[in-house]
């Protein structure tokens, strides 16, 4: 929406992607000293409300890339807006990882000795956000953690990764989500998660974060928060023309059909594809059949990741399965590799939209392969400076 704001014969061009009656638009008009609005807005309630803006309590608003102080009727302090709009927004989970390294995975009922233990930062949503940020994306995390030491540490971790925490909420009603992870010498793992505060992220929180979601280039969701919240986030993004990247993990067999139709890119691993489709997925050919089922359900593109076998892509534009292999590397710890892939893919979707999806996947495969060569989840994710310039 573009409108003309005039002051003493001077015309200002004001662009605001939100509702034309929004406080942000009124504020910018007031800050520029406008006394009247021209064009389609002349004589509207917006024009009549203009003079009232300066008599409201102080808040902070953003229009485009401008950070302005102004007034709001409530008198309540508001969250500060980022000076730069986030290109990649992740609505999802934060988990504290409790990691044990062992020579092998235990059998049912068995107690074994491990050789190392550490606490790290995980959760599919935050993992994906961190990887996108380390590649250079401007990112924002919409999440909920507990009002506890793990939650405090997590928010600080997001800040250290240059991720906006404007909509990183804390609650006293649940503990920060946690994941118990056991990793063997081959890098294979078993994981148990307790979602905790992640399940309390709700649609009211999303409404408060609507501005950052609606202005993103790409939004990512998963299923470590409630499906209803993820679905609402996808709906908000889709309605505003934001590219959606949905990672249905952990998978739900009877997933709401809307998840498919609201997904520009639907990305799952082989085990998730099996749960979603009922098909066996162990090879690229089988992954192609599963991707075809997912595509029939309404997504624009389906990706099935196959670990060290790479990925299979199928899209409405090119409905023939494409196997995109990855480099063979010595895996130290595969935990979070899929999230590294998704975060990298979101980065390329946001910043290199002219690349083919196949090429985006090829580059994301490479980045995920780098991540498995070090222990830990986010701690293993590479930065742009550590990667070949040809990826950028």
How many CB atoms sit inside 10 A of residue 291's CB?
A: 28
Backbone phi and psi for residue 279, each to the nearest 5 degrees, phi listed first: -95, 155
| 9 assigned ligand-binding residue | no
| 308 assigned ligand-binding residue | yes
Please check whether residues 149 and 25 belong to one and the same domain. Answer: no
Please check whether residues 116 and 242 belong to one and the same domain. Answer: yes
| pLDDT tens, the chain, 392 aa long | 444 444 334 343 444 444 444 444 444 444 444 444 444 444 444 444 443 333 333 333 333 333 333 333 334 344 444 447 899 999 999 999 999 999 999 999 999 999 999 999 999 999 999 999 999 999 999 999 999 999 999 999 999 999 999 999 999 999 999 989 898 998 888 988 899 999 999 999 999 999 999 999 999 999 999 999 999 999 999 999 999 999 999 999 999 999 999 999 999 999 999 999 999 999 999 999 999 999 999 999 999 999 999 999 999 999 999 999 999 999 988 889 999 999 999 999 999 999 999 999 999 999 999 999 998 889 999 999 999 999 99
| 322 assigned ligand-binding residue | no
Active site residue ranges: 339
For 21, the domain range is 2-72
| 310 assigned ligand-binding residue | yes
Please check whether residues 252 and 350 belong to one and the same domain. Answer: yes
Residue 82 lies in a domain: no
Please check whether residues 10 and 145 belong to one and the same domain. Answer: no
Q: Give the global pTM.
A: 0.76
Cα 176 to chain centroid distance, Å, stands at: 18
| 339 assigned ligand-binding residue | yes
Please check whether residues 384 and 267 belong to one and the same domain. Answer: yes
Please check whether residues 35 and 110 belong to one and the same domain. Answer: no
The enclosing domain of 130 has a CATH number of 3.40.1190.20
Total of domains in the chain:
2
The three-state secondary structure class of 101 is: strand
Judge if the upstream peptide bond of residue 263 is cis by omega within 30 degrees of 0: no
How many CB atoms sit inside 10 A of residue 241's CB?
A: 9
| 306 assigned ligand-binding residue | yes
The three-state secondary structure class of 37 is: strand
Contacts of 7 (CB under 8 A, 6+ apart): 32, 33, 34, 35
Residue 55 lies in a domain: yes
Please check whether residues 63 and 138 belong to one and the same domain. Answer: no
The answer to whether the CB of 308 falls within 8 A of the CB of 323 is: no
């Amino acid at each position: 929406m573009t409108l003309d704001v005039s002051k003493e014969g001077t015309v200002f061009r004001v662009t605001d992607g939100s509702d034309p009656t929004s406080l942000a638009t009124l504020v910018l008009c007031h800050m520029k000293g406008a006394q009247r609005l021209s064009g389609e807005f002349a004589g509207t309630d917006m024009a009549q409300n203009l003079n009232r803006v300066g008599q409201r309590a102080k808040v902070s608003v953003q229009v485009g890339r401008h950070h302005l102080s102004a007034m709001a009727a409530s008198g309540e302090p508001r969250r500060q807006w980022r000076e730069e709009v986030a290109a990649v927004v992740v609505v999802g989970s934060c988990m504290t990882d409790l990691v044990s390294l062992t020579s092998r995975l235990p059998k049912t009922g068995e107690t074994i000795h491990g050789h190392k233990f550490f606490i790290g930062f995980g959760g599919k949503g935050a993992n994906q956000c961190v990887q996108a940020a380390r590649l250079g994306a401007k990112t924002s995390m919409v999440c909920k953690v507990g009002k506890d030491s793990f939650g405090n540490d997590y928010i600080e971790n997001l800040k250290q990764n240059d991720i906006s925490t404007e909509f990183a909420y804390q609650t006293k009603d649940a503990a920060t989500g946690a994941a118990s992870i056991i990793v063997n010498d081959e890098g294979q793992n078993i994981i148990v998660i307790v979602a905790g505060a992640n399940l309390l992220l709700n649609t009211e929180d999303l409404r408060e974060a609507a501005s950052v979601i609606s202005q993103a280039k790409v939004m990512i969701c998963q299923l470590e928060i409630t499906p209803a919240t993820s679905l609402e986030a996808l709906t908000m993004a889709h309605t505003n023309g934001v590219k959606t990247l949905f990672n249905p993990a952990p998978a739900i067999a009877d997933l709401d059909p809307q998840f498919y139709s609201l997904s520009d890119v639907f990305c799952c691993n082989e085990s998730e594809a099996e749960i979603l489709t009922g098909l066996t997925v162990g090879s690229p050919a089988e992954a192609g059949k599963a991707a075809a089922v997912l595509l029939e359900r309404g997504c624009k593109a389906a990706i099935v990741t196959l670990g060290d076998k790479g990925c299979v892509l199928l899209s409405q534009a090119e409905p023939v399965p494409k196997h995109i292999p990855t480099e063979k590397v010595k895996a130290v710890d595969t935990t979070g590799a899929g999230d590294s892939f998704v975060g990298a893919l979101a980065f390329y979707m946001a910043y290199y939209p002219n690349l083919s999806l196949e090429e985006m996947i090829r580059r994301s495969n490479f980045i995920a392969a780098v991540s498995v060569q070090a222990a830990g989840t986010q701690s293993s994710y590479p930065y742009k400076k550590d990667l070949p310039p040809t990826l950028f």
